[in-house]
Structure 1
Amino acid sequence: MVCLIPGSERGSSVDKRQIWNRRILVALLVSAAVVYLAGIFFWGISMDPSCYDTNYADKFISPGSKHWFGTDFVGRDMFYRCIKGLSNSLIVGILASVVSSVIALAAGIASAVLGGRVDRCVNWCVDLCMGLPHLVLLILISFMMGKGGRGVTIAVALTHWPSLTRIVRSEVMQIRSSQYVQASYRLGKSKIYVAVRHILPHVLPVYMIGLILLFPHAIMHEAAITFLGFGMPAEMPAIGVILSEAMNHITTGKWWLALFPGCMLLIAVILFDVIGENLKKLWNPGSAQE
């Protein structure tokens, strides 16, 4: 005899509705973040340089209806300059993160699948990169590469792969002991075949989340070394350049020169983190049902 609990079906439908509402909320949040970041990115790329051109007659105008973020010491509109600067930072962050994540993916899979000397070499490189002060390593590589956009991109790309490599390696170590992978080995398949056909598809969700979460680190570090003078050139609009110039005038009461570019950089970093963390919840079978 089966006893039905009154209201159990209703409670189940409510739970499903709540889960569905959470998924919609997460999807809307991720979509809003993507739209904002994509809008800044493409707006900055297509922006006419005359929008933030020099105009000495308008220097040090406080924020208002004509200049939303005010103007700087040579009369350049800070709103358009911040949009262009954040767009340049996003370009560097995207390029560096993609290169760094590809290095992490290849190194993590090779380390776990091939093992032996390859595993020891990869772990040694990871320990070496993570043992050095991160900002000092960034400055050294950027300076060796001639600074500028090329130097800072290479520096960020070569210093952000170790943590993701460890995550990918641990994921592959779990997958390689599964029955279907062992069966493929017994059928005579090579390690490269198994890595490409069986292991790589299962690692891709972890890789994509790691790639997205690399963006905020890359953008922040690009702005940091540019602020210190080892990144983007002074004539190029970049958040680090804008903040560095603002330090010369912030003590005279020109607060808007540092506030608005700093807030835009912070919002971009937070939005990338929001996208990565929420996608992690959606792709994880355990947390997707919470």
Structure 2
Amino acid sequence: MRQLNRRQRTLLLLLLTLSVLLAVTLAGALLTQRATETDFFRMNRSPSLTFLFGTDWMGRDMLARTLAGLSLSIRIGVLTALVSAVIALLCGVAAALSRRADAVLSWCIDLFLGIPHILLVMLISLAFGRGFLGVVAGVSLSHWPSLARVIRGEVLSLRHAPYLLAAEKLGAPRGQIVRRHLLPHLLPQFLTGLILQFPHAILHEASVTFLGFGLSSEQPAIGVILSESMQYLTTGRWWLALFPGLALVGVVLLFAALGEQVRRVLDPSSVHQ
């Protein structure tokens, strides 16, 4: 059997990671109703073969609640990461079209990065009325500066590339130059940055929800689960926070590994490895 090279192994790991994340998302979406079912005859049960993650003070299955919360966090993370990555890409392209836009973009990046991140997410979430819309707005509108700075740096390095200067001398419209010559070079940075936004988005969604500035308590979100379980830890119900917390860390690490694998696949030097 022919041994897989490094690029093929990376692609295989990429597919496996995507499969696990997709399975968690689908399982959580299917278990959303079960996650809210209460049964006071089975309340406060420790982990067992019947209930792998135990039950809470209302008899709810913690495995179902954890999967439903992870599914919700992943969906919010995908949405917010996509919005913030698109904002970063548009800002980076605008920096290539106008020096004034570049100056305004640099000022905005410095302003956003100068504010403590979690505080910025909380303020934006409050401004949009908290809840689902508030969390999406808070995370989306606060995560674009770092990726925008990377894309802007790439744009500045490409601005004086010979093929771009030649296209300008030949009278090619700016829109055509951006579409045909600039965007293909920005695509690897965009895709890698997009995926690396996921773990940050998930963690910040869980953080603001945990602090009470995010999703409502009726939703089986990881932040809600961890926040509610804090008052029961002193009574010995350790499973209420341990398993959801470990699951959240696991999903974040999977997304981080996914971003690294995508970066390796998109690296031109890895083609012959």
TM-score for both structures, normalised by structure 1: 0.90
AA aligned to 1:109 is: V
Counterpart for residue 69 of structure 2: 85
Q: Do the aligned partners of 1:52 and 1:78 also contact (CA within 8 Å) in 2? A: no
CA RMSD of aligned residues (A): 1.7
Counterpart for residue 259 of structure 2: 276
Give CA deviations for 1:117-168 in whole Å, capped at 9, x if unaligned. Answer: 1111011111100000111111111011110111000000000000000111
Q: In structure 2, how many angstroms separate the alpha carbons of the residues matched to 1:91 and 1:274?
A: 18
Counterpart for residue 91 of structure 2: 107
Q: Do the aligned partners of 1:95 and 1:153 also contact (CA within 8 Å) in 2? A: yes
**Residues 1:136 and 2:119 are matched in the alignment:** yes
Q: Do the aligned partners of 1:129 and 1:162 also contact (CA within 8 Å) in 2? A: yes
The counterpart of 1:66, out of the listed 10, 26, 50, is 50
**Residues 1:178 and 2:129 are matched in the alignment:** no
TM superposition shift of 1:51 = 5.0
TM superposition shift of 1:249 = 0.4
Rg comparison, structure with higher value: 1
Q: Do the aligned partners of 1:98 and 1:211 also contact (CA within 8 Å) in 2? A: yes
* 1:147-186 equivalent positions in 2, closer than 5 A: 147-186=130-169
The gaps in structure 2 that reach 5 residues or longer are: none
TM superposition shift of 1:48 = 5.2
The gaps in structure 1 that reach 5 residues or longer are: 1-16
TM-score for both structures, normalised by structure 2: 0.96
Q: In structure 1, how many angstroms separate the alpha carbons of the residues matched to 2:160 and 2:27?
A: 48
Counterpart for residue 21 of structure 1: 5
Q: Do the aligned partners of 1:19 and 1:289 also contact (CA within 8 Å) in 2? A: no
Gap change, CA 1:259 and 1:289, over 3 Å in 2: farther
Q: Do the aligned partners of 2:34 and 2:64 also contact (CA within 8 Å) in 1? A: no
Counterpart for residue 232 of structure 1: 215
TM superposition shift of 1:46 = 2.8
* 1:7-46 equivalent positions in 2, closer than 5 A: 20-46=4-30
Q: In structure 2, how many angstroms separate the alpha carbons of the residues matched to 1:142 and 1:18?
A: 53
Q: Do the aligned partners of 2:35 and 2:220 also contact (CA within 8 Å) in 1? A: no
Gap change, CA 1:173 and 1:19, over 3 Å in 2: farther
AA aligned to 1:211 is: L
Aligned residues: 273
Q: Relative contact order (C-alpha < 8 Å, sep 6+): which is higher?
A: 2
Counterpart for residue 225 of structure 2: 242
Q: Do the aligned partners of 1:100 and 1:157 also contact (CA within 8 Å) in 2? A: yes
Gap change, CA 1:221 and 1:63, over 3 Å in 2: same
Give CA deviations for 1:81-116 in whole Å, capped at 9, x if unaligned. Answer: 1000111111111111111000000001111x1232
Gap change, CA 1:48 and 1:281, over 3 Å in 2: closer
TM superposition shift of 1:175 = 2.1
Gap change, CA 1:18 and 1:124, over 3 Å in 2: farther
Secondary structure at 2:217 match in 1: coil
Secondary structure at 1:248 match in 2: helix
TM superposition shift of 1:18 = 10
Secondary structure at 2:268 match in 1: coil
Percent identity over paired residues: 45
Q: In structure 1, how many angstroms separate the alpha carbons of the residues matched to 2:69 and 2:35?
A: 13
Q: In structure 1, how many angstroms separate the alpha carbons of the residues matched to 2:76 and 2:94?
A: 27
Q: Do the aligned partners of 1:228 and 1:244 also contact (CA within 8 Å) in 2? A: yes
**Residues 1:208 and 2:157 are matched in the alignment:** no
Q: In structure 1, how many angstroms separate the alpha carbons of the residues matched to 2:159 and 2:224?
A: 47
